[in-house]
Amino acid sequence: YSEYNFVPDITQQAENPKVCTQDLDNIDIPREYTKLFKHHFYSINLSMIPECIKAFDELGVNHEPLTLIRPHFETPLPPTQPS
């Protein structure tokens, strides 16, 4: 086991983009190119929202919009000394 973490040459990889990792010889490319994109990877399923809203009433929790909680960072500072 080596303690070194080898990082790939990112600049070299960026100069050689790969469009697809699949072998395109076996796949029929459709005329409509938008069918090649898989939209279900980036879609949002909103079917559970009504059940979640009902859960607020069942649990007795107020249904309010979320508010911003401002962070309070406490950083330790060294003691000050007069110069």
Q: Is residue 4 part of a domain?
A: no
What is the domain count for the chain? 1
User: Tokens for 82?
Assistant: 């007069």
Average pLDDT over residues 31-56: 77
Q: Is residue 5 part of a domain?
A: no
> 3-class DSSP state for residue 14?
helix
Residue 41: per-residue pLDDT: 62
Q: Is residue 28 part of a domain?
A: yes
Average pLDDT over residues 9-36: 67
Q: Is residue 47 part of a domain?
A: yes
User: Per-residue pLDDT for 49 more than 70?
Assistant: yes
Residue 55: per-residue pLDDT: 92
Pick the more confident residue, 53 or 76. Answer: 53
- Report the mean per-residue pLDDT for the chain: 76
CA angle 29, 30, 36 (to 5 degrees): 80
Q: Is residue 18 part of a domain?
A: yes
pTM, 2 dp: 0.32
Q: Is residue 14 part of a domain?
A: yes
**Whole-angstrom distance, CA of residue 47 vs CA of residue 42:** 16
User: What residue numbers bound the domain in which 43 lies?
Assistant: 10-53
Average pLDDT over residues 53-69: 89
Q: Is residue 72 part of a domain?
A: no
